[in-house]
Structure 1
Amino acid sequence: MTTPLLDLPLVARPLQGRVALVTGAATGIGAATARALAAAGAAVAVNHFAQIEQARTALDQIRRTGSRGIEISADLTDPDAVSMMTSQIANELGPVDILVNNAGAYPRLNWAQTDEDAWAHALEVNLTIHYRTCQAVTDGMVRRQWGRIINIGSVNARAGRTGLTAYSAAKAGLTGLTRSLARELGPHGICVNTVLPGAIQVPAENDLPAHHRRRPEDQINRQCVPRRGQPEDVAAAVAFFASPAASFISGQSLHIDGGWILH
C-alpha cells in the first residue's frame, strides 16, 4: 500500500548522505546545479577543466550551504582522466550516487564548414564524454541499487538551428542515451532523465561572435514566459530529478525554456 503524499515527512535536505558529480561545474548552469544539490544536502564534486579560480568560487559556495565538496580538474575526453576523477571522488567523498552530465561545448559552424574533424569534436564533447562518465559510475550504482543520472541537453536537439548541426545532433543523441539507459538501469533503482535548457543567460554567451548572438527581446518574444532564463531555473529541475520525489520518473525529457518549444 502506498503512503499518501501528505503523510510523508518534510525533508529539508533530501539528498543528505548522497554524493553528486557535476561536470563542467565551474560556471553557469553547472555551478548553479552544484549549489542546488549542495543546498539539498549532497556532497558535491565540482568537475572543471583548467578553470581553477571559478571552480574554487563554486566550491566556497557549496561549503557555505553546510555540505562537503571538492574540485577536480579533469579532461573528460581522456578515459584515464575520467577513471582517476571518479576514484578521487570515491576516496574523498564516497562513491557517486548522482551524476549530472553538464560539460560540453557550443561550436558554431555552418554546414559547409563542418568537416570530419569538426563533426567528431562536437560529438566527442557533447555526447561521448557523457557515455564515458556514465560508464565510470553506473557499476557502483548498480551494486548499491540506487542512482540518478541527469543529462543536460538542449532545445536544439528538437528544434535544430543553423550553424549548430553537429551540436544539435549530439544533443539529440544524448536523449537517445537517456532513454536507453533508463530502460537498462531502471531495474537497479537508477533513474535517468534529461533536462533541455532553452535560452539561458550565462556568461559564456558573451564569448559568441556578434553575428551569432540574438537580441534578448527577440528570444523573449518566442517564449510564453517573457524573461531570460537563468542557470538557477535549470538547477532547480536537476535537483528535483535527483530527489526522492522523482523516484518514479525516468527516461523523460524536460524543457526548461520558458515555453519556447511546446510539445
Structure 2
Amino acid sequence: MTGPLNGRSALVTGATGGLGSAIARRLAADGATVALAHLDDGQAATDLATHITESGGTAVPLAADLRDAEAVRTLCHQAHDRLGPIDLLISNAGAYPRHPWSEMTPTHWDDALATNLTSHYFLAHELTPSMTAADWGRIITIGSVLATAGRHDLAGYISAKAGLEGLTRTLARELGPAGITANCVAPGSIRVPAEDTVVDDPEAMTARQLARQCVQRRGRPADVAAAVAFLATDDAGFITGQTLRVDGGWILG
C-alpha cells in the first residue's frame, strides 16, 4: 500500500479491540506496516493481520502483557525484528474496571494504574531510543474525555487517563528536540460491540449521550482512527503536547 505513512512502521497496542483494530486498519491503509499487540486474543489478532495482508498491507500479530516491563521489552524487540525500527507508537491498550469508591481496594487501584498508565510508560521508554536515533517519531496515546468529565465508579481508570495526558505532555517536552512528537487522542462515547456487554440498556444510554453532544450521532472507531492517522503524518509535525478530543463536542473548553 502507498499513502502518507508509506515507509513507516507502527506498533498498535490493544489491537484486537474496537478502537485498536480500526486504528491498525487505517494506518495500514495509509501505508504503514503494523505490529498488532494483544494480550491473549491470538485468533482475533491473526484474523486482523490476515485482513490487512489481503488488503495489500503488512501486519504481524504479537502477544504481550504490557503491565510487565520485561514483556514490553521483548515485544518491542520482536516488532523491530519483524518490521524494522518502530516510527509510530499507538499506545491504545487499556481496561475499564468499574468499582464504587466505597468498595475500591488498593489492589483495584494498583491494577487500574498498571494497565492504563504504567504500561504506556514502559512502551514509550522502550521505543524512544530508536526514534531519537532516527530524529523522527510519533507517540500517540489514547486517553478519554472522562479524564476531564469524571464519572462515578471509575476513580482508578480516570486517574490513570488524567496521568496519561500529563505523561504525554512531558514526553512532548523531553523528546521534541529529537524530532519526536507526543499527543493524546481522547475519545468520547464511541460505539463498539463491547458496549453491549457492560450497558444494561444501550438505547437509553445512547439517548443520554446524544443529549450531551453537539454532533447528534454516536462516535465510531473510524473517527478515532482518522485522528490518530493525521497525528502520525508529517503534516502534524508541528503539533505536540496536545490532547485532541474526538467526542462530538461532549466536552467543550
1:65 corresponds in structure 2 to 55
Mapped pair 1:254 → 2:234: no
Superposed displacement of residue 114, structure 1: 1.2
2:29 corresponds in structure 1 to 39
Question: Residue 197 of structure 2 is aligned with which of 204, 207, 213?
Answer: 207
Q: Which digits, 9 at most, give the CA deviation of each residue in 1:64-93, with x for residues without a partner?
A: 332211000111111111111111111111
For 1:249, what is the secondary structure of its paired residue?
A: coil
Contact preservation (8 Å) 1:142, 1:189: yes
Q: How many pairs does the alignment contain? A: 252
Contact preservation (8 Å) 1:146, 1:188: yes
Mapped pair 1:217 → 2:213: no
Q: CA RMSD in A?
A: 1.4
1:80 corresponds in structure 2 to 70
Superposed displacement of residue 113, structure 1: 1.1
Distance 1:143 1:45 in 2: 20
Superposed displacement of residue 212, structure 1: 10
Mapped pair 1:126 → 2:104: no
Structure 1 window deviating more from structure 2 (198-207 vs 166-175): it is 198-207
2:223 corresponds in structure 1 to 233
Mapped pair 1:102 → 2:92: yes
Superposed displacement of residue 213, structure 1: 9.3
For 1:82, what is the secondary structure of its paired residue?
A: helix
Give the letter for the 1:66 counterpart. Answer: G
Distance 1:190 1:175 in 2: 16
Mapped pair 1:149 → 2:149: no
- Give me the identity figure in percent: 51
Give the letter for the 1:110 counterpart. Answer: P
Contact preservation (8 Å) 2:137, 2:181: yes
Distance 1:29 1:212 in 2: 19
1:114 corresponds in structure 2 to 104
Superposed displacement of residue 101, structure 1: 0.6
For 1:206, what is the secondary structure of its paired residue?
A: helix
2:41 corresponds in structure 1 to 51
Contact preservation (8 Å) 1:27, 1:58: no
For 1:203, what is the secondary structure of its paired residue?
A: coil
2:128 corresponds in structure 1 to 138
Per the normalisation by structure 1, the TM-score is 0.93
Per the normalisation by structure 2, the TM-score is 0.96
Superposed displacement of residue 61, structure 1: 2.5
Contact preservation (8 Å) 1:27, 1:54: no
Which blocks of at least 5 consecutive residues in structure 2 are unaligned?
none
Residues 54, 214 of structure 1: alpha-carbon distance in 2 compared, 3 angstrom cutoff: farther
Contact preservation (8 Å) 2:86, 2:127: yes
Distance 2:113 2:201 in 1: 24
Which blocks of at least 5 consecutive residues in structure 1 are unaligned?
1-11
1:3 corresponds in structure 2 to none
Structure 1 window deviating more from structure 2 (57-66 vs 198-207): it is 57-66
Q: Which digits, 9 at most, give the CA deviation of each residue in 1:175-195, with x for residues without a partner?
A: 000100000000000000000
Give the letter for the 1:114 counterpart. Answer: M
Distance 2:203 2:107 in 1: 24
Runs of 4+ in 1 over 2 A off after TM superposition: 209-214
